[in-house]
């Protein structure tokens, strides 16, 4: 069966109009060829904010993945950047220091607060994104139900990856939650404002949505960013199982094309167990990171029989000449939170 891969490019004209170029490629043979090409005007680019926050209702293009989206609300996270710790340099994308520290591999990494946004992804762009578009998952609302549910078209985006734009389109974003969460605000700087349903949804589901820590490290021009999320626990008389999801982005910052071949995880639980996990690729794929398509993002899940633990590991990366190297996955903590038994089943209510 033929597999389609999309390449999303951002171009700017002399009139500062933002264009979304979607190129579909067919991978049914080893030779890639251009199948279709469409140039779509989506609006007028605005100057990105170097300081401060964007507000709910801001339209944007994703700097890396190129999709159209709209901001729901911001999160303040602690960013642990091991590259900054190594280089003894400040990061231009960070703001005030939080005073938090982690100690790993005899290296002290200071956490700094950083702005991330919960966003809706335009459903028309989802097939062309090299990222899973189910970034929000949650446990079933029944005690005996171990199923995981996913909400499509939600993502977490760092402040520096927001490319704001404006448009005259009446319905610029297609997503099933768009009309539930936002309404038009004619004549104002921000054309859309939050409905009460969005505020209630955020307040009710805060424990399942909250982004608190972000970990980042670069090995030989391949940067790995990890965001862990606590999902809750299944508690019974016989045992307790705690669940987390983690979102990982790999980004090739160099010129040479590389490919992820293997993963190697170490998972430590507070109960005293240490588990090793090895396997080919990630989520059934061995993504290629090239200059044209430098990034890949995915999510996975882990469970422990203790309320906290740690994860770390490596990705085996292969260069075009066949040589390989181990790309470090920055260590991150799995911490549980005080249980909130409010059902997250009300996401669409």
Per-residue model confidence (pLDDT) at position 185? 85
Per-residue model confidence (pLDDT) at position 141? 56
Are 47 and 192 within 8 A, CB to CB? no
Give the position of tokens 């043979």: 29
Mean pLDDT, contiguous 10-residue spans, the chain (349 residues)? 37 46 42 52 90 93 94 94 68 37 53 93 91 68 58 91 92 93 83 93 85 95 95 82 93 97 97 94 95 93 93 97 97 82 47
CA-closest candidate to residue 105, choices 219, 244, 228, 256: 219
Residue 262 corresponds to which tokens in the numbers above? 């293997």
Residue 304 corresponds to which tokens in the numbers above? 């422990």
Per-residue model confidence (pLDDT) at position 86? 66
Which residues are paired to 162 by β-bridges? 62
Q: How far is Cα 93 from Cα 158, in angstroms, rounded to an integer?
A: 9
Per-residue model confidence (pLDDT) at position 314? 98
Per-residue model confidence (pLDDT) at position 76? 94
Per-residue model confidence (pLDDT) at position 107? 53
Angle subtended at Cα 251 by Cα 246 and Cα 253, rounded to the nearest 5 degrees: 150
Are 43 and 167 within 8 A, CB to CB? yes
Residue 122 corresponds to which tokens in the numbers above? 């335009």
Are 260 and 289 within 8 A, CB to CB? yes
Q: How far is Cα 195 from Cα 192, in angstroms, rounded to an integer?
A: 9
Q: Could you report how far apart the first and last alpha carbons of the chain are, in Å?
A: 38
Are 68 and 59 within 8 A, CB to CB? yes
Three-class SS state of 253: coil
Per-residue model confidence (pLDDT) at position 148? 65
DSSP secondary structure letter of residue 83: H
pTM of the complete model: 0.81
Cα dist. 313→69, 110, 133, 266, 317 in Å? 32, 20, 24, 6, 13
Bridging pattern class, strands 107-121 and 97-104:
antiparallel
The kind and range of the H/E element at 316 are strand 308-319
């Amino acid at each position: 069966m033929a597999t389609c891969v999309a390449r999303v490019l951002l171009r700017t004209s002399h009139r500062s109009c933002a264009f979304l170029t979607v190129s579909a490629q067919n991978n049914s043979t080893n030779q890639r060829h251009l199948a279709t090409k469409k140039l779509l005007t989506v609006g007028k680019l605005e100057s990105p904010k170097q300081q401060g926050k964007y507000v709910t209702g801001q339209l944007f293009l994703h700097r890396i993945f190129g999709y159209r989206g709209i901001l729901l609300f911001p999160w303040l996270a602690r960013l642990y950047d091991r590259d900054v710790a190594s280089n003894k340099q400040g990061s231009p994308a960070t703001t005030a220091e939080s005073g938090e520290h982690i100690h790993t591999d005899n290296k002290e990494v200071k956490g700094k607060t950083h702005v991330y946004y919960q966003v809706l992804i335009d459903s028309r762009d989802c097939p062309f994104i090299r990222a899973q578009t189910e970034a929000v998952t949650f446990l079933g609302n029944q005690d005996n139900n171990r199923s995981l549910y996913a909400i499509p078209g939600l993502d977490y985006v760092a402040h520096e990856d927001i490319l704001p734009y404006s448009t005259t389109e009446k319905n610029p974003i297609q997503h099933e939650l768009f009309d539930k969460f936002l309404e038009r605000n004619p004549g104002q700087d921000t054309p859309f404002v939050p409905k009460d349903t969005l505020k209630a949804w955020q307040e009710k589901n805060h424990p399942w949505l909250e982004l608190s820590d972000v970990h980042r490290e670069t090995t030989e021009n391949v940067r790995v960013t990890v965001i862990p999320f606590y999902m809750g626990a299944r508690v019974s008389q016989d045992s307790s199982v705690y669940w987390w999801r983690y979102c990982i982005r790999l980004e090739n910052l160099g010129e040479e094309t590389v490919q992820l071949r293997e993963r190697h995880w170490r998972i430590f639980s507070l109960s005293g167990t240490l588990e090793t996990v090895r396997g080919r690729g990630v989520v059934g794929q061995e993504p290629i990171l090239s200059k044209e398509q430098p990034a890949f993002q995915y999510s996975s899940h882990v469970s422990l029989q203790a309320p906290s633990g740690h994860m770390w590991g490596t990705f085996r990366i292969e260069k075009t000449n066949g040589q390989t190297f181990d790309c470090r996955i920055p260590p991150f903590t799995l911490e549980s939170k005080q249980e909130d038994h409010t059902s997250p089943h009300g996401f669409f209510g």
